Amino acid sequence: MDYADARKRMVDGQLRPSRVTDPRVLDAMRELPRENFLPPTARARAYADEDVPLPGGRALIEPMVLARLIQLAAVRPGDRALVVCAGTGYGAAVLGRCGARVTALESDETLLGIARDALAAALPAGTVRIETGSPPRGFAAGAPYDVILIEGEVPEIPNAIADQLAEGGRLVTVLGGGRRNGVAVLARRLGGSVTTTPVFDCATVALPEFAPAPGFVF
């Protein structure tokens, strides 16, 4: 497969027609080798307009959805960014190419192995810092953040993560009930309060780490 041509077709055929207009996002996704952020057996699907399954019930988010989420975050050069459930690191890499200083938080060791190799090959050293931990808790040691991306669908935004937003900070994710009928949202911290606004409907895989605990059954 000609991956360079596939990247161009992804940008021109999937992103531009879906109102992705930020030139930094378009350039990042045209240049980054998305296939390297997948296991070898899945690389042929890297540029399909769909989520690509990953180990552990996770997925590499569909290009259009990820691009619109990152565009929504309105990244500025030098912004401190946190990617929660960073998976294999592709979303973190796009943010890094857009000028952010990124902390990528992940708990799955298999995904982390792919992320470390792919990020090291794609970006200058230090652009993305990889951390392990419990995703619903965020990464308080690096807070506050100007941008937070929760990379997948969650039932709600945990207070622990919202509290890590800087004043004026933006958080983007997909809210839903695990039925692939979610809505992309933008949460902002202004005046000390966090307000969440729905922006566009979309479907992506629910993050297992954020699944509600099962209730007690008699």
pTM for this predicted structure: 0.95
156-177, pLDDT tens digit by residue? 999 999 999 999 999 999 999 8
pLDDT score of 64 more than 80: yes
Level-2 CATH architecture, domain 3-207? 3-Layer(aba) Sandwich (3.40)
Query: How many Å apart are CA 57 and CA 205, to the nearest integer?
Result: 8
Is-contact 82 173, C-beta < 8 A? no
For residue range 67-86, what is the model confidence (pLDDT) as tens digits?
A: 999 999 999 999 999 999 99
